[in-house]
Amino acid sequence: MQEIRLERSQYQCVISPYAAPVAHVRDGETAVFYTEDAFWGDLTSEDLDPKQLNTYSNPLVGPVYVEGAHPGDALKISILDITPTRDIAVSCIHREFGALQYNRRVKFLNDPLPLKVYLYHYKDGVYSHGNRLSFSPDPFIGTIATAPEIQAPSSNTPFEQGGNMDVPDVKPGNILYLPIQKEGAYLYLGDCHARQGQGEACGAALEIAARVTLKLEVVPGLTLRQPRIESPTELMCIGSARPMEDAARIACYELVQWMIELGWDAMDAYQAITMDSSLYVGNMVDPNYSLVAKVAKELAYRK
């Protein structure tokens, strides 16, 4: 099984079609990716300031060239396993970032919140920072994308080919489908979280370095506009946009389209998701908000 492990200097903080592939995988191959945490593994003490450590966060492994992947196909990513590679996780309240304070896009004249770093230690099945702040792991991939054809978005941004969606359903047992715009797909991933609530309120989850095992397959001719997720029991669509209602509409619109592909009449599908679907906030802190609409397969596959 191919293992893809980069030198520190090789990580990318953009999801770029212009970089040279760091590895090639075959269609159908299972590969292992060693990812760094969002802070480059440098936030090792609660006295450090992440802004002093690195200019860019969310270093990614990639681009990985998937053989046989053509523009207009989809990349089917079966998430087999995520294993943390250290026994700590790190989070922090940033000075000018997060849902409950002003930030780069919501500009206010108030004083910032004070920086506060949280180091969590893993022991006996939980990540803990004191008694109250202890959480069992439920790991997922925060950032995963194929490259756009000509743009190069930041590794902090969720967009139409994936990116920093921070959606907890991108986790082992589930399958992620990403649109392909570039020959070879150019897959990037990183920013794993040991656990995160919906919304990722303060903007930093339980950030971990991880060993990620993925099976990569090309689905020829499946042309997607947005990422999709399939769990054993559910179909999900992700919308990433601003304002948040634009993201919610995209997620719902794409779910209706998926049901139309399964044979539904458009208005009936619109009724169905009105009565029996979930719609949650993946992230409310990134340059785009990511929302997830989901419906049970039992309903979607009804005849």
Residues 55-114 binding a second copy (CB under 8 A) are 56, 91, 93, 98-102, 105-113
Residues 229-268 that bind a second copy (CB under 8 A): 239, 241-246, 248-250, 252-254, 256, 264, 266-268
Residue from 81, 222, 231, 280 binding a second copy (CB under 8 A) = 280
CB 33 within 8 A of CB 12: no
Identify which of residues 21 and 112 has a Cβ nearer to a second copy in the complex. 112
DSSP-derived letter for residue 52 is H
By CB under 8 A, which span of 43-51, 58-66, 182-190, 272-280 interacts with a second copy? Answer: 272-280
Q: CA-to-CA distance for 129 and 195, rounded, in angstroms? A: 14
Indicate the residue among 101 and 213 with the shorter CB distance to a second copy: 101
Beta partners for residue 33, in sequence order: 4, 212
Residues 202-221 that bind a second copy (CB under 8 A): 202-206
Nearer to a second copy, 34 or 280 (CB): 280
- Whether 162 contacts 154, CB under 8 Å: no
> 66, 58, 86, 75: which is closest to 4 by C-alpha?
66
Nearer of residues 25 and 209 to a second copy, judged by Cβ: 209
Q: What is the DSSP letter of 8?
A: G
Least distance between a second copy and beta carbon 28 (Å): 30
Nearer to a second copy, 179 or 216 (CB): 179
**Smaller CB separation from a second copy, 87 or 298:** 298
Q: Which of residues 134-173 bind a second copy (CB under 8 A)?
A: 135, 150-154
* Residue 170 neighbours by CB under 8 Å, 6+ apart: 79, 140, 141, 142, 144, 176, 229
Which helix (H) or strand (E) segment holds residue 175: the answer is strand 175-179
**Of the candidates 139, 117, 135, which has an alpha carbon nearest to the alpha carbon of residue 126?**
135
Kindly list the distances between the CA atom of residue 88 and the CA atoms of 50, 98, 128, 192, in Å, as whole numbers in the listed order.
16, 22, 9, 13
Among 50, 277, 286, 290, binds a second copy (CB under 8 A): 277
Contact region with a second copy (CB under 8 A), list: 35-43, 78-86, 193-201, 227-235: 193-201
Whole-Å CA distances, 11 to 38, 154, 155: 11, 13, 11
Cα separation, 194 vs 257, in Å, equals 32
289 scored as a contact of a second copy (CB under 8 A) = yes
| Smallest separation (angstroms) from a second copy to the CB of 32 | 26
Q: How many residues bind a second copy (CB under 8 A)?
A: 83
- CB closer to a second copy out of 180 and 291: 291
State the nearest-atom distance from the C-beta of 44 to a second copy, in Å: 18
Q: Show the binding pattern over residues 16-45: x = contacts a second copy (CB under 8 A), - = does not.
A: x-x---------------------------
CB proximity list for 242: less than 8 A, separation 6 or greater = 105, 287, 288, 289
- Shortest spacing between CB 150 and a second copy, in angstroms: 5
Report whether 58 contacts 191 (CB < 8 A).
yes
Q: How far is the CB of 249 from a second copy (least distance, A)?
A: 5
